[in-house]
Amino acid sequence: MTFPDDVPRLTDGVVTLRAHHRGDVPATFEQGTDPTSQRWTTVPVPYTLAHAESFVTELVPSGWARGQWAFAVEVLDDGTPRFCGTVELRYDGDGRAEIAYGAHPWARGRGIVLRALTLLLDWGFEVQGLQTVVWWANVGNWASRRTAWRLGFAHEGTVRGYLPQRGRLLDGWVGSLQRGDPRTPRHDWLTVPVITGRHVRLRPFAERDVPRIVEACSDERTSHWVSQVPRPYTATEARAWLEDQRGHLATGSAVTWAVADLRTDLCLGAVDAFGIVPRREAEVGFWVHPDARGHGVAREACGLALDHCFAAYDGGGLGLTRVRIRSAEGNHASRHVIAACGCTLVGRERRALQLGDGTLVDVLCYDVLREERG
């Protein structure tokens, strides 16, 4: 295919995909010097006007001859055409291609890229006869992952040390979309709602909570009952744990709240709903900072979390019918909280939990049904 003669003009009435032209150089330069673009893409750093000119007038045109189908994204801004970035399919032969995209800072958060990629995928599948499109992103690029999720890509996992960027090999997320797949999300992408109680507020965790997480997870009592907590526990482990919670939200498998003091917003602990089976069931867990124990924090936090679990899905809740909670047999404080939340003892898993000192203990299994919460 030759540039620009074979580059089609695609539009949905709002967003247009077209061939690049020299007039795109200034906006391409702005995009290439943007810190977000430099963090997540392979643009040269520092990025110069010469790089932008080379991309628009040399790399893109020559790419079309090699099966790298790059389109400029354009919308009307107060009646004036505005360059919004580049979307691309890189053909790998045998009906396979890789999708790539980068947005100008002005275009982010406006739904423009999603529309552009929908046009691109329609063209790729229907006109170019693609069977499978693969998406890659550096681990941590949540904006790209959320866009791929909205387009219907299946998240296939993480490949370690695979994506090159300026002399390094970075861990990469990979996903796939096939020709006949629905172009809609495959599962929920959860959010962390703010829930206010009488004395505590459930809210998303923030960077400012890291010291409190470290203190709580370094506590001897916590590490005894929660044996999977690393030792020693540092800010590095805390930040990794917080990043894991973002991953659970993205897969719809768990939601984790910071339990904060209603007056000071100080982090007092954590409560989560995990192992979520959509519209059916989940398990709730919790921990409390040492200086917050004995003040009813865990009981109120668990009650608020349970209310959210059972709240109607179309009203913002999880819409579950059953919630499970487990506790080591000897953890009397935890069992007291569970009983206070109206849960029923339904079973025992023998020698199912290894404590911090290496001993194996029985786990008591509780549950509560939606109708039992009132």
Distance CA 102, CA 122 (A): 18
Four-way CATH pick for 195-373: 1.10.10.10, 3.20.130.10, 3.90.1200.10, 3.40.630.30:
3.40.630.30
265 token code pair: 């917003």
Q: What are phi and psi of 305, to 5 degrees?
A: -65, -40
Interior angle at CA 69, CA 66 and CA 71, nearest 5 = 145
CA dihedral 200, 203, 206, 209 (to 10 degrees): 20
* pLDDT tens, N- to C-terminus, the chain (374 residues): 899 999 999 999 999 999 999 999 999 999 999 999 999 999 999 999 999 999 999 999 999 999 999 999 999 999 999 999 999 999 999 999 999 999 999 999 999 999 999 999 999 999 999 999 999 999 999 999 999 999 999 999 999 999 999 999 999 999 999 999 999 999 999 999 999 999 999 999 999 999 999 999 999 999 899 878 888 999 999 999 999 999 999 999 999 999 999 999 999 999 999 999 999 999 999 999 999 999 999 999 999 999 999 999 999 999 999 999 999 999 999 999 999 999 999 999 999 999 988 999 999 999 999 999 86
> What is the layout of strands, in order, in the sheet containing 80-93?
10-11, 16-18, 68-77, 80-93, 96-103, 132-138, 168-178, 154-165
Q: Tokens 């400012």 correspond to what residue? A: 208
Residue 317: burial class (beta carbons within 10 Å; 0-12, 13-18, 19+): middle
What pLDDT does 227 receive? 76
8 A C-beta contact, residue 73 and residue 9: no
Backbone angles phi, psi at 357, to 5 degrees: -90, 5
Q: What is the tens place of the pLDDT at every residue in 159-200? A: 999 999 999 999 999 999 999 999 999 999 999 999 999 999
What's the rounded Cα separation, in Å, for the pair 129 and 123? 9
| CB contact burial 168-185 (16+ within 10 A = b; e otherwise) | eebebbbbebeeebeeee
State the span(s) of the chain assigned CATH 3.40.630.30. 10-178, 195-373
The pLDDT value given to residue 374: 67
pLDDT of res. 73: 98
Q: What is the reported pLDDT for 325?
A: 97
Round to whole Å and give the CA distance between 248 and 373. Answer: 26
If one counts every other C-beta atom within 10 angstroms of the C-beta of residue 54, the result is 15
What six digits make up the tokens of 294?
């004995």
At the topology level of CATH, where does 10-178 sit? Answer: Aminopeptidase (3.40.630)
Contact 254, 276 (CB under 8 A): yes
Return left, alpha or beta for 269; rule: phi > 0 is left, psi -120 to 50 is alpha, else beta. left
- Could you tell me the pTM of the whole model? 0.93
